[in-house]
Structure 1
């Protein structure tokens, strides 16, 4: 019998997910590791076991309804204390170039899965009055109005990650005082297999181990938004102030003059 809390990590076969598995194993968690590739999962499980964790693996593809249902069933079992929704795929392409058959799968993996799994695990966390929910998003969640050289075609991906950021931030407020916390991790460039390994040789790319360390510290501190490369919280504070100002300025009972005047 173990007293170590149990963390369920999706997308755990490589990259940030594998680094999360090893980091949380070292910090005293047992693990349920979930991804599509059973052989790669077993490799990570062996390494996590060497760090003291009892490890269970579950092969499932969260981009499919069946895979997501299997993951939700495991999350709802009542023993998970920390959910880490990390699985994702870039699907980088202009929207018109994304095959129609891929739209649902990409959205399910990047946006629906974190919500579905959080919904599944919440009853047991709330009943216990402790635990956490983490989702890995991206700095690209904040890039909707920006264009810059080298920035990928990302409409579907950025929209999904923006939805995840808003979901976790709002959920964190909903959970205030319950003992359960919610954190969203928004890394920038990370040197992994992601998008064909394009970031592996970038000088501005962070290691997945550094992202996992930041995430573990953020969970321990009960931070709502974790940006691993951000030196201080001031930018996030300014973002929240701008949101408040926008809501206050736009919540009016009369039409703004710039819309009330007919265009020439």
Structure 2
């Protein structure tokens, strides 16, 4: 059996590790994580399951770390990219140190886009491939004032950009055999959410999130929200609202509320 090559970031634990375990029967791997020791443990586990594994220790909040992984992707042999690495960065914007702004945005947004950009040429040449970016349900939380949601300005901004990126990319790739998906889990029972104020009873397991993502791919879902029962109807309404905003605002005349009183009375 021919085994496809999957590159997974954030592979040492949580969702990344759960994906790797589910894929081990049919895939070989390039595993990426900042933490070399737990990454080696996952690699050993997958080798025992019969997979060939390369390990890359890389910090994807830095351009050097991104370059290390994009250089590997440039070989063109990866057919499944699961861009999962991220960090919370939960804080009020005013409380974020200036030197932390770029790393948070890079790890949670920019790195994903650069990795996808590097993986695409090989997939397009083969006319085969799958791209999964892992965002968050908080990508849709900008208007929420619920005090139970953590402060998240930078994190939500990065993840919202990732949702828009992946959805738009799916339109660009229509007509090819390359599938794209953005995975938007809520709270997941991993160390990622320590310190965010979440209690375990509301958390989904990483294994369930990975199962949802892979099943969603088989269903043709570009957006996968693991806990949302009526996803198709909700996302259809969401897209309709976007269309109303886009079409309604695409006109040369000012909306009435922005006109001078005498100008409004002339119309």
When the two chains are superposed, the root-mean-square deviation of aligned CA atoms in Å is 1.4
| Distance (whole Å) between structure 2 residues aligned to residue 49 and residue 229 of structure 1 | 32
Q: Deviations over 1:183-203 (max 9, x none)?
A: 000000111001326577421
Q: Deviations over 1:42-96 (max 9, x none)?
A: 1111222233321111100011111110011111111100111100011110011
| Structure 1, unpaired ranges of 5+ | none
- Decide which structure has the larger Cα Rg and report it: 2
Q: Contact 1:9/1:21 (CA < 8 Å) preserved in 2?
A: yes
Structure 1, 143-152 or 46-55: larger mean CA deviation:
46-55
Match of 1:11 in 2: 10
Q: When the two structures are superposed, what TM-score results if normalisation uses the length of structure 2?
A: 0.93
| Distance (whole Å) between structure 1 residues aligned to residue 100 and residue 140 of structure 2 | 23
Match of 1:237 in 2: 236
The DSSP-based 3-state class of the residue aligned with 1:20 is: helix
Structure 1, 87-96 or 44-53: larger mean CA deviation:
44-53
- Return the match for 1:124 from 118, 122, 125: 122
Match of 2:219 in 1: 221
The count of corresponding residues between Structure 1 and Structure 2 is 260
The DSSP-based 3-state class of the residue aligned with 2:100 is: helix
Structure 1, 199-208 or 180-189: larger mean CA deviation:
199-208
1:219 CA displacement: 2.3
Match of 2:264 in 1: none
Structure 1, 141-150 or 43-52: larger mean CA deviation:
43-52
Q: Contact 1:30/1:55 (CA < 8 Å) preserved in 2?
A: yes
Q: Contact 2:150/2:197 (CA < 8 Å) preserved in 1?
A: no
Matches within 5 A, 1:114-263: 114-196=112-194, 201-232=199-230, 233-261=232-260
Q: 1:200 to 1:144 in 2, by over 3 A?
A: closer
